[in-house]
Amino acid sequence: MKYVVQYKVRENTTAEAMQAGFAVYERWQPTKGIEYLQHVARVDGSGGFIVVETDDPSLIALDTATYSPYVSSEVIPVVDMEQFARTSNQAADLRASARQTR
C-alpha cells in the first residue's frame, strides 16, 4: 500500500535543533521493507512530503518516531489515481443500481 507522509517543522524549533535533525537525516538509512518513491521539501522550508510503499505500516512508525523531536508527521494512505477512478466508478454504479430498485 502507498502512503504519503506529510511532515512539518515543529513550532519553536531552534536552529540548533534543525541542525541536529539534519545530522540524523545524514546518518539515516532507508528502512528495509519500505520503498521510498519520492521525497520533496516545501519551498518555504516548513516541511515536506514523502511517498512510500510498504505492506507493513509499522515500519513507517519507526521513521516518524526517529524524527519526532524535530517534525510532526501525518501518514495518509493513498491509491494511484487510476485505481481511485475505477473504484469511484464501481461505487457510482452501485448507487445507481440501488436507486433503480426502489
pTM of this prediction? Answer: 0.82
For residue 98, what pLDDT is reported?
85
Which residue has 518516531 as its cell numbers? 65
Contacts for 76 with CB less than 8 Å, ≥ 6 apart: 3, 4, 5, 6
DSSP code of residue 10: P
What is the fold of 2-100?
A: Alpha-Beta Plaits (3.30.70)
Per-residue pLDDT of the chain (102 residues; tens, 9 = 90+): 999 999 999 998 899 998 999 999 999 998 999 999 999 999 999 999 999 999 999 999 999 999 999 999 999 999 999 999 999 999 998 998 888 876
For residue 102, what pLDDT is reported?
66
DSSP code of residue 33: T
The domain limits of the chain are 2-100
Beta strands in the chain (DSSP E): 2-9, 35-41, 47-53, 71-78
